[in-house]
Amino acid sequence: MAAAAAAAAASTARAARKTIVLFDVDGTLTPARKAATPEVLAFLKKLRGHVFTGMVGGSDLAKQREQLGEDVVDMFDFVFPENGLRAFRQGELLAEASFKDHLGEENLKRLVNFILSYLATKVDCPVKRGTFIEFRKGMLNVSPIGRDCSHDERNDFEAWDKETGCRKAMVEALRAEFPDLGLTYSIGGQISFDVFPEGWDKTYCLRFLPEAEFETVHFFGDKTFPGGNDHEIFEHERVAGHTVSGPADTMAQCAAIFPECA
Catalytic residue among 26, 161, 201, 230: 26
Q: Within 10 A of 10 (CB to CB), how many other CB atoms are there? A: 13
pLDDT digits (tens, 9 = 90+) for 12-68: 788 888 999 999 999 999 998 799 999 999 999 999 999 999 999 988 899 999 999
152 in a known ligand binding site: no
Active site residue 26: yes
Amino acid at site 26: D
Do residues 214 and 57 make contact, with C-beta atoms less than 8 angstroms apart?
no
222 in a known ligand binding site: yes
pLDDT of res. 8: 55
What is the mean pLDDT of each successive set of 10 residues along the chain, which is 262 residues long? 49 87 97 92 96 94 94 97 94 94 97 98 95 93 96 95 97 98 90 93 96 98 91 97 98 96 78
Domain spanning 100-197: which superfamily? Answer: Eukaryotic phosphomannomutase, cap domain (3.30.1240.20)
Which part of the chain is CATH 3.30.1240.20? Answer: 100-197
pTM, full prediction: 0.79
CATH number of 1-85+201-261: 3.40.50.1000
pLDDT digits (tens, 9 = 90+) for 65-74: 999 999 999 9
> Order of strands across the sheet with 183-188?
133-135, 140-142, 192-197, 183-188
26 in a known ligand binding site: yes
